[in-house]
Chains A and B, each alone.
Chain A
Amino acid sequence: DTEVTQTPKHLVMGMTNKKSLKCEQHMGHRAMYWYKQKAKKPPELMFVYSYEKLSINESVPSRFSPECPNSSLLNLHLHALQPEDSALYLCASSQVADGNEQYFGPGTRLTVT
């Protein structure tokens, strides 16, 4: 199974809502990533988890809170988002966090109203 799954596919939330994005992989990968992709721009790294520990936070605002409850799961908790946070959020995984190819999920399309 070389699939990374993400739920939900689409999410519309208000600025006062709290929601979570979920990502799952069953490839035994020990590195997982969150990327944000705005229209016509490349994916931008937000967070890296390596062996369930946060190893990179690319100065992401605290209204985005990542969580890695186990080696297969990665969550992104969202609270008090702004309309400019509307984007495609991609999850990826790799064997380890050392430059190996990354396997991407299909993304969650988030709209903040």
Chain B
Amino acid sequence: ILNVEQSPQSLHVQEGDSTNFTCSFPSSNFYALHWYRWETAKSPEALFVMTLNGDEKKKGRISATLNTKEGYSYLYIKGSQPEDSATYLCALHAGGTSYGKLTFGQGTILTVHP
């Protein structure tokens, strides 16, 4: 059983604040690391799929970094807006015969207050 952990569990920030959260995973079972954003009553939406150690990806005000040797990824949101309020999930794909199996972390619930 793969253990994917996210911290913090929840986060409240003010509009305009920058924030970050962490996803940690067993480095020995790494093939790809996914980040998803899940807004209430909507479908989870893929943000990034990261595969290379040292990779950094960016989408607007959101960026992510990856360290496969130590088994962690950071997600950063610059200048948070109320519409960024959502649950942010990371998921590990272990490769091999995983056939697309993703193991999700518990998620970080972000609330951005106007």
Contacts and interface: CB of A to CB of B under 8 A. Distances in A.
Given A101-B49, A105-B43, A106-B43, A42 B106 contact: yes
Contacts of B45: 104
A97 interface: yes
Contacts of B103: 45
A41 to B, nearest CB: 7
A55 B106 contact: no
Contacts of B46: 101-103
A48 B99 contact: yes
Contacts, number: 64
A31 interface: yes
Interface string A28-47: 00010100000001111100
Nearest to A32: B100
A71 interface: no
Contact of B44 (A45, A99, A104): A104
A45 B102 contact: yes
Given A56-B99, A90-B44, A105-B43, A99 B32 contact: yes
B110 to A, nearest CB: 15
Interface size band for B: 20 to 34
Contacts of B49: 99-101
Contacts of B104: 42-44
Contact of A4 (B43, B99, B107): B43
Contacts of A4: 43
A102 B104 CA distance: 13
A99 B43 contact: no
A97 B100 CA distance: 4
5 contacts: A42-B89, A42-B105, A42-B106, A45-B103, A55-B99
